[in-house]
């Protein structure tokens, strides 16, 4: 696959993924996932106890972590085979990430935070970035909060900025790691709905790691780590 290129019907496939971490002298296997597939424009929840490897699998999907074995295919092309710099470009261009604790940059306003990923690739031209970021903020109901710093926003608002940022570069895949775990119960449905709506509006696939039934209920399918990962031990 040429750098930055993705075939039209992107289906994400993780095949034969193994990942172990070193803990002192010990090597601890965390992932052994024979096959995990995500159809184009599908919404999938990833549930499972703490320590069952959800975040690790998301990070392998994103190309943030290299698996010890196996590959991630996007539209049939191997993302794993890319050189590190190409993999970074690929991620910036095609993958949006929503974090549990938002990870907004404190000195930047909401609209500037949404613009950050646009600076990492050339898909949105310099002149269009602010307007696009404003439109994304409007989509998550934050048009009037664009100039606020993260510290001046509620947690729910911060996570909505995080969602807008994940869509900055029109991604093919959005990964969300426990996106509602820092939020009060009343907001969980709203955030899950927004993720699903934003993905539908651009035809992106969504993979959400969560224990939260309020969130999982919004997904077309829920996969349990205990089923897809032979190493899912974890603690309830
Ligand atoms: P989950 O997201 O389902 O709670 P994680 O993917 O975060 O699970 O972690 C799975 C296991 O891998 C845990 O036992 C965790 O301690 C271990 N682990 C995760 N990241 C690292 C790391 N960077 N170094 C060592 N162990 C790790
Ligand atoms: Mg996790």
> pLDDT for 17-48, tens place per residue?
999 999 999 999 999 999 999 999 999 999 99
Ligand 2 centroid – CA 122 distance (Å): 31
Q: Write the pLDDT tens digit of every residue in 109-152.
A: 999 999 999 999 889 999 999 999 999 999 999 999 999 999 99
**Cα 114 to Cα 116: distance, rounded to the nearest angstrom:** 6
Across 158-175, b (16+ Cβ under 10 Å) vs e yields: bbbbbbbbbbbbebbbbb
Which ligand is the nearest neighbour of the Cα of 99? 2
Q: Ligand 1, closest atom to CA 23?
A: 25
Q: What is the pTM of this model?
A: 0.92
Ligand 1 centroid – CA 31 distance (Å): 10
Work out the burial of residue 75: count CB atoms within 10 Å of its CB; fewer than 13 is exposed, 13-18 middle, 19 or more buried.
Answer: middle
Asked whether 122 lines ligand 1 (CB < 6 A), one says: no
> pLDDT at position 80, please?
87
**Cα 140 to Cα 151: distance, rounded to the nearest angstrom:** 18
Ligand 1 centroid – CA 56 distance (Å): 6
Asked whether 54 lines ligand 1 (CB < 6 A), one says: yes
- The protein residue whose alpha carbon is closest to atom 26 in ligand 1 is 21
> pLDDT at position 11, please?
84
Ligand 2 centroid – CA 144 distance (Å): 32
Q: Write the pLDDT tens digit of every residue in 55-100.
A: 999 999 999 999 999 999 988 888 888 998 999 988 999 999 999 9
Quote the tokens at residue 59.
């990070």
């Amino acid at each position: 696959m040429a750098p930055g290129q993705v075939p039209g019907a992107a289906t994400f496939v993780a095949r034969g993924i193994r990942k172990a971490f070193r803990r002192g002298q010990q090597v601890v296997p965390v992932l052994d996932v024979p096959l995990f597939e995500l159809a184009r424009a599908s919404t999938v929840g990833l549930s499972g106890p703490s320590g069952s490897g959800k975040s690790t699998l998301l990070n392998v999907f994103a190309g943030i972590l290299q698996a010890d074995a196996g590959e991630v295919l996007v539209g049939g092309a191997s993302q794993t085979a890319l050189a590190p710099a190409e993999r970074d470009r690929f991620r910036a261009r095609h993958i949006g990430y929503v974090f549990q604790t938002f990870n907004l940059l404190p000195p930047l306003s909401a609209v500037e935070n949404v613009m950050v990923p646009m600076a990492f690739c050339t898909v949105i031209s310099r002149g269009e970035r602010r307007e696009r970021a404003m439109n994304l903020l409007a989509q998550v109901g934050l048009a009037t909060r664009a100039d606020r710093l993260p510290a001046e926003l509620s947690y729910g608002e911060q996570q909505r900025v995080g969602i807008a940022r994940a869509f900055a570069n029109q991604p093919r895949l959005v990964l969300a790691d426990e996106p509602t775990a820092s939020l009060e119960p009343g907001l969980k449905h709203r955030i899950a709905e927004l993720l699903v709506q934003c993905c539908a509006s651009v035809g992106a696939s969504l993979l959400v790691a969560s224990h939260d039934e309020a969130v999982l209920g919004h997904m077309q399918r829920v996969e349990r780590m205990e089923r897809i990962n032979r190493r899912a031990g974890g603690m309830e």
